[in-house]
Amino acid sequence: MRFSFAEGLRCVTCGTTYGFDELMYTCPGCGPIAGTLDVLYDKGGLAASFGPEILQRRTDPTIWRYHEILPIHDAAAVVPIPVGMTPLYRLECDIGASPGMRLFVKDDTRHPSGSAKDRATAVGLARAREVGAAAVAAASTGNAASSLATFAARAALPCYVFAPASAPAAKLIQIRAHGAILFAVDGTYDQAFDLCTEACRRMGIYNRSTAINPLLGEGKKTISLEIWEQLGFRAPETILVPVGDGCIVGGVYKGFRDLLDLGLIERVPKIVGVQAAGSAAIATAWQRQSDRCTPVDVRTVADSISVSMPRDQVKALRAIRASGGCFITVSDEAILDAMAALASRAGIFVEPAAAAPLAGLREACLTGGFGQDEEVVLLHTGHGLKDIDSARRAASWNEPLTVSPEWDEVARVLAERLPKGSK
């Protein structure tokens, strides 16, 4: 029994294929960004060893239930922190979608470090252990690093992190709590990214930075494998995904594409990428029908998708085009409104980037972009406590009632200010 059927890598731009162990990062001919790599699998082997019947008998409630179609060959390399199989459930309350829509949430806030980054880290760190890395590193807007720090702590591997000093405080504290060496970079995420690449090259550290590492998207693709299994082994019609560097959206496509290639679904769902209007490099390239992004000046409340030059842009553009989807851009105001609606009406507390999919759906419903009765999945990628300042803004409509510890005052304040109702 093989643990994995991963057997090769292929450059997304020039199509050159490489043996699985031949390259660690990007295609030498095409370099970073253009030369990101897809992981290839032995389709014949998979067809015989992977599918609904086998999965139905499996009890492992983590992403490793899909180990045949993940790029780790040594089961012992997996770090024993459970990741994946997050809930997928119907959302029937009114949060501003079209009334006839069949709406689902995939709640990826429920991960060990509080974001979808744990899916990629689980795979990346297993690979670091397979290749015998002495240390790991990542550039991050905050979540990738807090995720890496979590897993590195459990694996007892030294961990170096490069994040903008301006990242939300909670994310930086998570990194420190787990014992990682945090370089709080006085600069942008893009500058932190280049610094991390340099550090890994000079110090021989295993690099878990987005897009440069081809295995991270394979971790992210488990979102699609899970949705497929949770819907009773079928694909939804549409899925909305927040997009920064583009790794998640590229991974979501890869998951459905692998299932299509194995004949396990009939078509890939329409994938809709949602970017903040103040950080919309990939959406802009898509609108211009261009294959490459030009760097943008970024300004958005959604720090996790605040990227000037997206590193996984090639896979992100392919995901949207090949699936027949689209990009939607949303304002910070729409993001904060969506956060408030999710928290106060659906009981789902997310950080700004993770509210972007709902903001995008509301926008599309207004402009008639989607079918009224479509089956739509919203992917929520990060927990609300990750960014307290933004959470405070989204909750600003609901000020606390400050009282002294006496019933009379409670009664007086209540009479004066009955609840305004939810937003």
Ligand X SMILES: *Cc1c(COP(=O)(O)O)cnc(C)c1O
Q: Residue 29 touches which of Zn ion, ligand X, none (CB < 5 to 8 A by kind)?
A: Zn ion
Indicate which single residue of 170, 247, 336, 342 sits in contact with ligand X (rule: CB under 6 A): 247
**Nearest residue to 120 via CA among 153, 128, 241, 259:** 128
CA atoms within 13 A on the CB side of 248: 29
117 touches ligand X by CB under 6 A? yes
Distances (CA, A) of 291 to 12, 275, 287, 317, 364: 12, 17, 10, 7, 24
- Cβ proximity to ligand X, 46 vs 340, nearer residue: 340
Footprint (CB under 6 A) of ligand X, residues 371-400? 381-382
Asked if 32 and 207 count as a contact pair (C-beta separation under 8 A), the reply is no
Window contacting ligand X (CB under 6 A); options: 68-76, 91-99, 346-354, 414-422 = 346-354
> How many H-runs (helices) and E-runs (strands) does the chain carry?
15, 13
Q: Residue 382 touches which of ligand X, Zn ion, none (CB < 5 to 8 A by kind)?
A: ligand X
Strands (E) in 267-345, as ranges, are 270-276, 326-330
Taking residues 135 to 174 in sequence order and writing x for each that binds ligand X by CB under 6 A, - otherwise, the string is: --------x-------------------------------
Taking residues 86 to 115 in sequence order and writing x for each that binds ligand X by CB under 6 A, - otherwise, the string is: -----------------------------x
Q: Is residue 394 exposed (0-12), middle (13-18) or buried (19+ Cβ within 10 Å)?
A: buried
Q: Residue 248 touches which of ligand X, Zn ion, none (CB < 5 to 8 A by kind)?
A: ligand X
Window contacting ligand X (CB under 6 A); options: 93-101, 186-194, 201-209, 238-246 = 238-246
Indicate which single residue of 35, 71, 214, 244 sits in contact with ligand X (rule: CB under 6 A): 244
**Nearest residue to 334 via CA among 312, 367, 310:** 367
Window contacting ligand X (CB under 6 A); options: 28-36, 69-77, 190-198, 239-247 = 239-247
Indicate which single residue of 175, 305, 309, 346 sits in contact with ligand X (rule: CB under 6 A): 305
Taking residues 1 to 40 in sequence order and writing x for each that binds Zn ion by CB under 5 A, - otherwise, the string is: ----------x-xx------------x-xx----x-----
Q: Which residues contact 114 (CB under 8 A, 6 or more apart)?
A: 143, 146, 174, 382, 383, 385, 386
What three-state secondary structure class fits 287?
A: helix
Q: Which residue minimizes CB distance to ligand X?
A: 382
Question: Cβ 316 to ligand X, closest distance in Å?
Answer: 7
48 touches Zn ion by CB under 5 A? no
Q: State in Å, rounded, how far the first CA of the chain is from the last one.
A: 54
**Nearest residue to 83 via CA among 37, 127, 125:** 125
Question: Cβ 35 to Zn ion, closest distance in Å?
Answer: 5
Asked if 170 and 304 count as a contact pair (C-beta separation under 8 A), the reply is no
Question: Cβ 348 to Zn ion, closest distance in Å?
Answer: 40
Q: Residue 11 touches which of Zn ion, ligand X, none (CB < 5 to 8 A by kind)?
A: Zn ion
Q: Which residues contact 174 (CB under 8 A, 6 or more apart)?
A: 113, 114, 146, 149, 150
Question: Cβ 16 to Zn ion, closest distance in Å?
Answer: 5
Check residue 191 and report its DSSP letter. H
Rounded Cα distance, 29 and 275, in Å: 30
Binding site for ligand X (CB under 6 A): 115, 117, 143, 210, 242-249, 304-305, 351, 353-354, 381-382
Binding site for Zn ion (CB under 5 A): 11, 13-14, 27, 29-30, 35
